[in-house]
Amino acid sequence: EVQLVESGGDLVKPGGSLRLSCAASGFTFSNAWMSWVRQTPGKGLEWVGRVKSKTDGETTEYAVPVKGRFTVSRDDSKNTVYLHMNSLKTEDTAVYYCTIHGDFGRFGSWGQGTLVTVSS
């Protein structure tokens, strides 16, 4: 059974930094592309960023609102994907979900999410 378990969500001040983790199991993690998707309170979903598998170059891509501030990385030895968030803004407040980035943007498996609150 596929399992994705996010952690690291917290209350942080504007301008601060945070690292989210997502521990994966139940599938061949090293072959998977992984994405982060966020959901602002009471609002919709927003794709944040993606890292390809090492075989596919481990390249990353980001949504415009977070480009230059967020970094997605992976550690295949730990079956874990990370979201490094810098220069946080109040509008980054959201539940952050880890997902398997399937063919052409299909997200078939999701974690339970972790809440990031950016507030002074």
Q: Which residues sit at the interface with another protein, rule CB under 8 A?
A: 33, 35, 37, 43-47, 50, 61, 63, 97, 101-108, 110-113
Q: How far apart are CB 31 and another protein at their closest, in Å? A: 16
Cβ-based nearer residue to another protein, 80 or 99: 99
Minimum separation from the CB atom of position 48 to another protein (A):
10
- Min dist CB 16 to another protein, Å, is 26
Q: Give the Cα separation of 15 and 36 in Å (integer).
A: 21
CA angle 118, 15, 63 (to 5 degrees): 75
Six token digits for residue 106? 């299909």
Question: CB-wise, 36 or 82, nearer to another protein?
Answer: 36
Q: How many CB atoms lie within 10 A of CB 104?
A: 5
- Residue closer to another protein, measured from CB, 16 or 39: 39
Q: Which residues, in sequence order, are CB contacts of 67 under 8 Å at separation 6+? A: none
What is the Cβ-side half-sphere exposure of residue 115, based on CA atoms within 13 angstroms?
Answer: 5
Distance in Å, CB of 118 to another protein, minimum: 20
Residue closer to another protein by CB (options 5, 16) is 5
Phi, psi of 49 (to 5 degrees): 180, 165
